[in-house]
Chains A and B, each alone.
Chain A
């Protein structure tokens, strides 16, 4: 069971309640909610907000691939996964990503949650532009995408 979405922050905020509703099931005994939020410092600069940019189609595709890979790589077949990622401007403390997973047992849930966030960092075309107290802003450098299929 999977749901992955890009949420336009001009239209609404990311919601843990949405995640809870999606993964709720008596099939599962363990659930983990991971959220990423905008923090006020990076590289000794005072951050006041972040603009997130996304290639929507490729991001959703990458979420689906990561979910499907968990069947083989982690051998976790019975699971619920909910991923929301923000697109647009966020203030300090606002949620940029929610990953909610539910599995039969806690060990699988921890493994799966960690796997998903690490793979998103490596593979999902998402970019951050930080905005600073001195009115400057800067796109963060990031890591090159290497997943070429031809």
Chain B
């Protein structure tokens, strides 16, 4: 299935498009998406350690704007947001 990962904050540096498009197996979870993003970083950014650390410390939000756990099952064509460590104000 196809999944779009909307990029925010430091993860915007992962792509010029502000979005990553992943192909995942049906019934994949956030945990699977996280692994797939890290594979993408290994391929495109030589496994940049800072980028990988950011992914490992990020939360994710479902398309209906709920912060979800690693066990959340992603729907086909769902747009998920990656929420890297925050700090506004």
Contact = CB atoms under 8 A, between A and B. Distances in A.
Interface of A: 36, 52-55, 57-59, 61, 85, 96-97, 117, 120-129, 139-150
B28 interface: no
A145 B59 contact: yes
B67 to A, nearest CB: 5
B89 A117 contact: yes
Interface residues of B, number: 24
Interface of B: 8-10, 12-13, 57-59, 61, 65-69, 71-72, 81, 83-89
A115 to B, nearest CB: 13
Interface centre among B58, B59, B87, B88 (most CB of A within 10 A): B88
Contacts of A58: 61, 65, 67, 81, 83
Given A53-B9, A125-B8, A127-B9, A143 B86 contact: yes
Per DSSP, are chain B's interface residues mostly helix, strand or loop, or mixed? loop
Per DSSP, are chain A's interface residues mostly helix, strand or loop, or mixed? mixed
A138 B57 CA distance: 18
A148 B67 contact: yes
A13 B12 CA distance: 24
Contacts of B59: 144-148
Contact of B89 (A36, A129, A148): A36
Contact of B87 (A57, A85, A126, A148): A126
